[in-house]
Amino acid sequence: MTTPEPKPVFTVDLEPTGRRARVPAGTSLLDAARAAGVDIVASCSGLGVCGTCALRVVSGMVTPLNSAEQDALSTAEIDQGLRLACQTAVLGDVRVDIPASSLVRGQRLQIEGWQVEATLQPAVEIVEIACPPPNLQDLRADIARVNDVLAAQGKPALQADASQLDDLSALLRREGWQARLACFSGGRLAAALPAGSAVLGAAMDLGTTKLAIYLLDLTTGGTLAAVGVMNPQIAYGEDVISRISYANRGREQRRQLQTLLVGAVNQAVQSECARLGLDPAQIVEYVAVGNTAIHHLFCGLEVEQLGRAPYVALADHALDFRAAELGLVGSPGARVYLPPNIAGYVGADHFSALAASQEHLAQSPALLVDIGTNTEISLHVDGLWYSCSCASGPAFEGAHIQDGMRAAPGAIEKVEFTGDVLRLHTIGGQPPVGICGSGVLHAVAELLDHERIDNRGVFTPRLPGGFQLAAAEQSGHGRAIVLTRKDINEIQLAKAAIRGGIRTLCQRAGIPETAIRSFVVAGAFGTHLDLASAVRIGMFPPLPLEAFHQVGNAAGVGARLMLTSQSVRQAAERLAWMSNYIELTVAPEFTGFYENSIYFPRD
């Protein structure tokens, strides 16, 4: 038995970017550059005909000049040692020099197949420095050496804590007077790392239940890790109202909720860094989005005023704190950026979702709805924005439903009548143990279609014990799974709140609901939602199905985009600033719309 010999791996140093790739023998220089996050122009996509990927091999062994290169390059260029990156393969450690004309200006980034593109432009600028060491003829202070190098590159002098200057001096003296610096605008030092170190950022969608945490390489914009963990605050209340009550008991309790949340983030970040062989001290910035209550608790801000009328936030503008103040791991100069929220219940996560969905929302009229215990809705009409938040309750998360459960294995997610025969689809195809939010929605739509309930939500014929979805002997736990009249009523109240909010926004904007051209459904529940069922039960207006866009965790995507792109950050801040917030509890038209939405539409 023989196993194929593993290919030798070589390093490719890409000047003048200072980046390095480690690739197997035979890799093209174009692919090596891409692996290192260096974007080389290659108009013909590597066919060797356009000549736009020309670069110079400074040293090291590569494949010889081929005929495609002889055709694409002039004799003068060949004499200067130019090669086509797409046609030249690595046969040893190589150093190349990429002419400015072959480098893509303003690198582009794309996150997980999303259509949203934004120029890679994180909040930090990354600078490699090398200083001459001191001697009796050159008595400049350590930091003066650094500032002089920065000034020569037209960059401002460093602004830093005393401990950061102390660490930088030690680093320079240890590492031969070289370092990689990451600086925020104005020269504020984010991190001083050994030359060539990766510079990291973390984006976070802080949900009431779940935390989505992404680790990104800020030099390439690539996502290195994505993890979801439970929000440990859940021990102090399933919803934000209970957590606000707990925090109101005193400063100690509020502090405890902050510590729990920050601790969970730190643990996730540290374990991902360890897995990737990275140091959390390489993290220079966090972007965190979440609803206003979680946002305030994360920052250690008072939440008491969020829990009582008139429900105002302590701060609703974009915030920028020292990560260390909140207790987050990272470089000593790391910061945390929190996009704006508006009013008590339209949070930064909503603006993050809006920022991530700009393409769909550029049309007019366009609407984005993010369904949760609180459902946030924004409507765009001709450059004007309207937002509201409705108390839709936890029914869609399976709570307050007799046999409700989260979307976990064994949850009924779909219910189909074939004649009188009921077919159940469960997550993972396992025997049913309960029904999740999208399953309830689907079941109600199906029961309506098959006239097992009327438009008031009453079973026809009446079923005092409820509608049995699965008998005890079919289920995974030996108990029958039943949909009750009360369950249906919970769904009615929830969907009426959402539809009432949509109608109120349309009324304020002066458009009929049916004018909406693009209807974006964001959030985890929205992703698994059966759109036809949502329209059938009257939760969403009767739009053609192609008007709907299910965009998944847009808040998490938005957070990553804001981490890697200053322009997305500015877009979110602009959106928040422009948005007209409508407080439904004092909107006179809302009550009527809500009441009119409780019954199901007659088909």
* Binding site residues, its own copies, CB under 8 A: 134-137, 139-144, 147, 157, 159, 161-163, 165-166, 169-170, 173, 299-302, 305, 309-317, 319-322, 325-326, 343-344, 581, 583, 585-586
What residue has token string 């966090």? 286
What residue has token string 């093209």? 28
Task: Closer to its own copies by CB, 316 or 490: give it.
Answer: 316
Q: How far is the CB of 523 from its own copies (least distance, A)?
A: 24
Q: How far is the CB of 346 from its own copies (least distance, A)?
A: 10
User: Residues 540, 531: contact at Cβ < 8 Å?
Assistant: yes
Q: How far is the CB of 232 from its own copies (least distance, A)?
A: 20
Task: Closer to its own copies by CB, 187 or 237: give it.
Answer: 187
Q: How far is the CB of 377 from its own copies (least distance, A)?
A: 17
* Backbone Cα Rg of the chain: 29
Q: How far is the CB of 581 from its own copies (least distance, A)?
A: 7
Measured CA to CA, the distance from residue 8 to residue 3 in angstroms comes to 15
Q: How far is the CB of 32 from its own copies (least distance, A)?
A: 40
Residue 590: strand, helix, or coil = helix
Per this entry, what is the length of the chain? 603
What residue has token string 């079973």? 459
DSSP summary character for residue 40: B
User: Residues 106, 119: contact at Cβ < 8 Å?
Assistant: yes
Task: Closer to its own copies by CB, 236 or 321: give it.
Answer: 321
Measured CA to CA, the distance from residue 184 to residue 535 in angstroms comes to 47
* DSSP secondary structure, 172-226, as one string: HHHTTTEEEEEE-GGGBEEEEESTT---EEEEEEE-SSEEEEEEEETTT--EEEE
Q: How far is the CB of 196 from its own copies (least distance, A)?
A: 24
Task: Closer to its own copies by CB, 114 or 321: give it.
Answer: 321
Q: How far is the CB of 293 from its own copies (least distance, A)?
A: 13
Measured CA to CA, the distance from residue 277 to residue 286 in angstroms comes to 19
Task: Closer to its own copies by CB, 343 or 502: give it.
Answer: 343
User: Per DSSP, what are the bridge partners of residue 69?
Assistant: none
Tokens of 269: 């970040």
Q: How far is the CB of 576 from its own copies (least distance, A)?
A: 11
Task: Closer to its own copies by CB, 343 or 379: give it.
Answer: 343
Task: Closer to its own copies by CB, 417 or 577: give it.
Answer: 577
Task: Closer to its own copies by CB, 82 or 124: give it.
Answer: 124
Rounded to the nearest angstrom, the gap between the alpha carbon of residue 584 and the centroid of all alpha carbons in its chain is 28
Q: How far is the CB of 471 from its own copies (least distance, A)?
A: 51
Q: How far is the CB of 543 from its own copies (least distance, A)?
A: 31
Which of 117, 172, 99 lies closest to 141, judged by CA? 172
Measured CA to CA, the distance from residue 281 to residue 193 in angstroms comes to 9
Q: How far is the CB of 499 from its own copies (least distance, A)?
A: 23
**How deeply is 359 buried, as exposed, middle or buried, from its count of CB atoms within 10 A (0-12, 13-18, 19+)?**
middle
Q: How far is the CB of 138 from its own copies (least distance, A)?
A: 8
Task: Closer to its own copies by CB, 302 or 595: give it.
Answer: 302
Task: Closer to its own copies by CB, 163 or 430: give it.
Answer: 163
Which residues in 49-80 are b (16+ Cβ under 10 Å) and which e? ebbbbbbbbeebebeeeeeebeebbeeebeee
Rounded to the nearest angstrom, the gap between the alpha carbon of residue 247 and the centroid of all alpha carbons in its chain is 27
Measured CA to CA, the distance from residue 28 to residue 53 in angstroms comes to 11
Task: Closer to its own copies by CB, 249 or 517: give it.
Answer: 249
Task: Closer to its own copies by CB, 156 or 512: give it.
Answer: 156
User: Residues 519, 540: contact at Cβ < 8 Å?
Assistant: yes
Q: CB under 8 Å to 145, separation ≥6 — which residues?
A: 131, 132, 134, 172, 177
Task: Closer to its own copies by CB, 296 or 499: give it.
Answer: 296
Q: 261 φ, ψ to 5°?
A: -65, -50
Measured CA to CA, the distance from residue 189 to residue 6 in angstroms comes to 43
Tokens of 34: 């891409």
> Residue 116: in which H helix or E strand, if any?
none
Which of 349, 343, 394 lies closest to 240, judged by CA? 394
> Residue 262: in which H helix or E strand, if any?
helix 251-276
Q: How far is the CB of 326 from its own copies (least distance, A)?
A: 7
Task: Closer to its own copies by CB, 128 or 161: give it.
Answer: 161
